Amino acid sequence: MDYSYYRAEEFDRCTDRLGVTPLDILFAGATGAGKSTTLNALLGGGKAIVGKGTDPETVEVSYYKFGENVRFWDTPGLGDSPEKDKRHIEKLDAILSERYGQANKFGFIDMAVVIIDGSVRDMNTAVGVIELLKKHLDDDRIIIAVNQADFAMKGLHFDYEKNQPDETLAEFLNNKAQSVRRRLSESVGGKINLPVCYSAEYGYNITGLIDMIIENLPEKRRTKSRKRG
């Protein structure tokens, strides 16, 4: 299903109402968490390059226009190696610290969505990403989402014909969301939203992800760098 057209209009209405135009939303997370696949699901498919296996395809920071007022930013994944992570963190740090665009004529990144792979338990990379984001963004401008909900129980208990989890997996995903919020809160502190669980590959609960982003839209643009620490 293509969610892009009517939800882009909804984003435009919200940003017009808030006066936050253009709005820039950065997507970040570990390699393989599904940032590019998520963007493809949001944008209508085929615009962001999707990695195969464990090889990250997104090695530069790039953005995709969503409607008239919103830009989604894809970023390099972290967690491959210390050397690669160092380079990617420098790119993220730069895009969050400075005005972007030719001759720095555009504004700052306004908010970030951290994508977590729902099929793994390791939170270390996610913690590192959030700690970096918190140097630049207030807590209410950072939201967490859990992708690959269909594979959260090793591919079991997901009804692929109906494109939804059964009761066993639904309960597991609810507990997963609570656990992710608790573990991240203990590690990084501050406000952590209850993550929405979805599957970018199969389009499950993409509307829930969009709703969560809209519900957490900032009320004003960032007008200056606020890097801390």
pTM: 0.88
Question: Is residue 222 situated within a structural domain?
Answer: no
Question: Is residue 227 situated within a structural domain?
Answer: no
Domain hosting residue 101, numbered range: 4-215
Domain count, the chain: 1
CATH of the domain at 44: 3.40.50.300
Question: Is residue 225 situated within a structural domain?
Answer: no
Question: Is residue 220 situated within a structural domain?
Answer: no
Looking at residue 85, what is its pLDDT? 82
Encode pLDDT of 101-126 as tens digits: 544 455 788 999 999 999 888 889 99
Question: Is residue 202 situated within a structural domain?
Answer: yes
Looking at residue 66, what is its pLDDT? 85
At residue 46 the predicted structure's pLDDT band, cuts being 50, 70 and 90, is low
Lowest-confidence region among 153-167, 181-195, 208-222: 208-222
Q: Other C-beta atoms within 10 Å of 38: how many? A: 26
> What is the pLDDT averaged over residues 42-55?
57
Question: Is residue 226 situated within a structural domain?
Answer: no
CA distances from 69 to 12, 64, 105, 228 (A): 6, 11, 16, 28
Question: Is residue 128 situated within a structural domain?
Answer: yes
Nearest 10 degrees: Cα torsion 91, 92, 97, 103: 50
Cα angle at 34 between 28 and 36, to 5 degrees? Answer: 75
Encode pLDDT of 201-217 as tens digits: 999 999 899 999 999 98
Q: Is the pLDDT of residue 156 over 80?
A: yes
Question: Is residue 127 situated within a structural domain?
Answer: yes
